[in-house]
Structure 1
Amino acid sequence: MNTRETPAPLKAGCQTFTWEMLGDAWKGTADDLLSAIAAGGYTGIEITDTMIGNYAGKPDAFAKALSRNNLTLVAYACGSDSGFTEEADLAADLRMAEQAVSFAASFPGALVSFGSATIMSDGPRSQKFELAARFYNGAAERGARAGVQVAVHPSSHHNTLLFTRADYDQMFALLDPAQVGWVPDTGHILRGGQDILDTLTTYRDRIRYLHLKDVDAAGKWQMLGAGTCDTRAVIDAVRAAPHFNGWLVLEEESDEAGRDPAAAVAKNRETLRRFGV
C-alpha cells in the first residue's frame, strides 16, 4: 500500500451501533438507519452485519439505497459469537469473513472491520491471542485477494481481550502489519486507561480510519465534546497516519443516544463541525 504525501480530506461517517445497542427496543430497518444518518448531515456509514437486515448478501440493492441517501459505505463491520477466540469456530469465522469481503468488494474503498477479540471460554489468554491473530490474519489474506482492506476494531466491552495498552501490544505483535489495519476508537482506548496519543503514534502505520467518541474520567460514555477526549489532538494525530483514509466515524453510546439515537448523532455531527469537518 502506498503512502500519501498530503493528508486525506476529512469526512464524517456514522456507525449504526448507536441503534444496535437498543436491542429489541429498536424496531426499524436498514433504510431507516440510512435516512437518519443522511438527515444528520453525514456522508458515510459504517453498518454492522447485525443491522444490514434485508440487504445482507445483496450489495447491488444496498448500493442503490446508499445512492438514494447520498451516502458512501465506509466499512462493513462484523462480529462473531465465537469472539474470534474459539478454535472450533475458526473455519466458520473465516467463511463469514470471506462473505463479508465479497460484499464490501462491491463498494470502492470500503473496508471490512472485525470486532474485538473476546474471551468466551476458559483457557490461557496467550492461546486466545493466538487464535484471534489466526482469524484476523486469515481474514486479511482473503481481503487482499479481493482488493478489500481488513481492519481490527478493539473494544472495552465485557470480556474483551483488547483493553489495555499491553493487550494492544500483544495482539499487534501477532498481526501482519502490511495487511491487518486498525480502527482506533477514542472511547475504548480511554476506557482502557491508555495514553491515547502515544498509542495512536506508536501504531500510526496501522490506522485506516477512526471511531470518534467520548467518555468521562470514570469511563462512562458521554456525547462528543462532553468528556475527556482531546478531539482536536486525536484528529491531528490520525491525519498524520500514512494510511488514514480521512473517515471520522462517529459512534455514540451515551445515555442520550439511548433515548434518541437520531437526535444524538445529529448533535454529534454539529459538534464535529466545530473542528472544521
Structure 2
Amino acid sequence: MATFRCSCHQITWGDNLVEALDDIGSFGYLGTETFGTVVSQFEGRTSEFKDMLDARGLQLSALYGGGPLHDPTTQQEAIQHNLEIVQFLHEVGSHQLVIGPSRRDGPPSTEDLRRLAESTAEIGAAAKDLDVTTGLHPHWNTVIQDRDEITQFFDLVDTSLVKLALDPAHIAKAGDDPVEVASTYRDILVYMHIKDYVPALDTERPDTPSSQDHAPRIAFFGELGTGIVDLPAILEVAREAEYDGWLTVELDRSQTTPRESLEVNSHYLTNQLGFDLSNPNR
C-alpha cells in the first residue's frame, strides 16, 4: 500500500530560512526540504539545525545537492560536496539526497552521461552505507533534461544505488510526458517534487525582480492545479507501485508571496486530493 507524506521545499522563501520554517510548520506539513548549502551554514552546528526543525514539528525530508558531476575538471570536488551533504543528512536523521544535474551547454555527450552515472553511483554507494537514498532529479536546462537523456542515464547507472527523484513539472516543461516517465520508472521512484507547469507564464522576463531575496526568477512554474501537470494520474502510478515516501511541494518563484502560494498548494492537497498534511496519506 502506498504512503504519501507531505513536505515543502524552502526555495520559495530564498534566504529567509526562519520565515520558511515558520510558514511551513504553521500549515502542519510533516517535512521540509532545502539546499545542501545548510551543510556549510550549520557546520559544526548540526544539532542546532535539527532543533529548529523539531521546534516546528518538521522532519528533514531531503537535501538538494548535485552540481557539475559530469565535468572532469570539477567531478571530484562535486562528489566530495555531495558526500558532505550525505553525512549531514545522516547526522540529522534524514534519508534522502536529491541530486540535481548542473546546467547544460547543449545536449550532453555520451561521455558526459557516463561520468555523471559514475559520480552519482559513487555518491549513492556511500549514501547507502549511511541509510540515505540517492535520487537523480531530471531538471529543465540541465544535463538531464530530455526524455532520451533520462533513458540514457538510467541505462548507464546502477539503479540499486541511484533512483529517480521525479519532478513532473520539469518533465512537462521539457515537452515530455511526466505520467509516462513516472510509469516507466515506477520501480525506482523514491522521491517527488510537486508543482505545476503553466505555459501561459512561460515568457522571458529577465529584468523582472523576484519579490523574495535570492529566490530564482523562474516564473513558468505555478501552484498545484494552475497548469497542465496531471498530478492525480502521477499519484495513481505511485499508488500502483506502492510508493512510500515524500511529496514535496516546491515552487521556484511565487507570483504573490511564499505564504500565499503555500496556502494555494495546501488547499489543493487537502481539498482536491483529500490529503492530511500532518499525517501519512494512502
TM-score category of the 2 structures, normalised to the smaller one? 0.7 to 0.9
Shift of 1:250: 0.5
In 2, Cα distance between the equivalents of 1:136 and 1:188? Answer: 20
* 1:196 aligned partner: 178
Which aligned segments of 4 or more residues in structure 1 are displaced greater than 4 angstroms? none
How many residue pairs match? The answer is: 256
Q: Are 2:2 and 1:7 equivalent residues in the alignment?
A: yes
Shift of 1:17: 1.8
Contact 2:13 2:258 in 1 (8 A): yes
Query: Match of 2:170, as an amino acid?
Result: H
* 1:261 aligned partner: 258
* 1:180 aligned partner: 162
* 2:132 aligned partner: 148
**How do 1:151-170 and structure 2 match up within 5 A?**
151-156=135-140, 158=141, 160-170=142-152
Distance change (3 Å), C-alpha of 1:227 and 1:179: same
In 1, Cα distance between the equivalents of 2:20 and 2:40? Answer: 11
Which residue among 90, 106, 119 is the counterpart of 1:105?
Answer: 90
* 1:247 aligned partner: 246
* 2:216 aligned partner: none
Q: Percent identity?
A: 24
Once the two structures are superposed, residues 166-200 of structure 1 have per-residue CA deviations (whole angstroms, 9 ceiling, x without a partner) of 11101111111111111100110111111222111
In 2, Cα distance between the equivalents of 1:40 and 1:169? Answer: 37
* 1:23 aligned partner: none
In 2, Cα distance between the equivalents of 1:89 and 1:217? Answer: 35
In 2, Cα distance between the equivalents of 1:229 and 1:155? Answer: 15
Shift of 1:239: 2.5
**How do 1:68-107 and structure 2 match up within 5 A?**
68-80=55-67, 83-107=68-92
Which residue among 24, 32, 35 is the counterpart of 1:45?
Answer: 32
Query: Match of 2:269, as an amino acid?
Result: L
* 2:195 aligned partner: 213
**How do 1:110-149 and structure 2 match up within 5 A?**
110-119=95-104, 125-149=109-133
In the alignment, structure 2 segments of 5+ residues that lack a partner are 203-219, 276-282
Shift of 1:51: 5.6
Provide TM-score, normalisation by structure 2.
0.83
Distance change (3 Å), C-alpha of 1:52 and 1:69: farther
Query: Match of 1:79, as an amino acid?
Result: G
Shift of 1:52: 6.4
In the alignment, structure 1 segments of 5+ residues that lack a partner are 1-5, 21-25
Contact 1:152 1:183 in 2 (8 A): yes
Contact 2:136 2:164 in 1 (8 A): yes
Query: Match of 1:86, as an amino acid?
Result: D
Query: Match of 1:232, as an amino acid?
Result: P
Query: Match of 1:260, as an amino acid?
Result: T
**Structure with larger RCO (C-alpha < 8 A, sep 6+):** 2
Which residue among 3, 10, 16 is the counterpart of 1:16?
Answer: 10
In 2, Cα distance between the equivalents of 1:187 and 1:223? Answer: 11
Once the two structures are superposed, residues 104-156 of structure 1 have per-residue CA deviations (whole angstroms, 9 ceiling, x without a partner) of 11244521111124336x89622211121121111101101222111111111
Shift of 1:222: 2.2
Query: Match of 2:187, as an amino acid?
Result: D
**How do 1:215-230 and structure 2 match up within 5 A?**
215-217=197-199, 220-230=220-230
* 2:269 aligned partner: 272
